Structure 1
Amino acid sequence: MVSVAVAALHERDPGRLWPLLAAALPELCGGEALIYKLDDWNESEGTVRVSPGVAADELDLLGEEDLGLLRAGYPFAPLYSTGHQRVPVTARQVAGPAWPASPTARLLRRTLDAHHVLGLPLPQTGTPITGCLIYRSGTDFTDDQVRIARRAQPLLAAVEQQRQLLEQWQRQLNARYAPGTGDELAVDCALTPRETTVLLLLADALTAAAIGRRLGISDRTVHKHVENIYRKLGTRDRVSTVLRAQRIGLIPASGPAPGQAPPRKPSRT
Structure 2
Amino acid sequence: MLRILFEDRAVLLEKDSELYGIVADLHIGFEIDLKGRGIRLPLQTDKISSQLLNLVDKYGIRKLILLGDLKHSILGYERREAEDVRRLLEQLCQLVEEVYLIPGNHDGNIEEILYKLKVKVYSSRGLRLRDGELSVGLFHGHAWPSLRVLSSEVLVIGHIHPTVEFRDRMGLRYVEPAWIRVRIDRNRLAYSMCKHLKIDPGEDPILSLKVSQGIELRTRWVLVMPAFNPFLSGLVINNTAKMSKMSPILSAIGRDLEKSEIYLHDGTYLGSPKLLSKLSEV
* Structure 1 or 2: more helix by fraction: 1
The TM-score range, normalised by the shorter chain, is 0.3 to 0.5
TM-score under structure 1 length normalisation = 0.33
TM-score under structure 2 length normalisation = 0.32
* Structure 1 or 2: more strand by fraction: 2
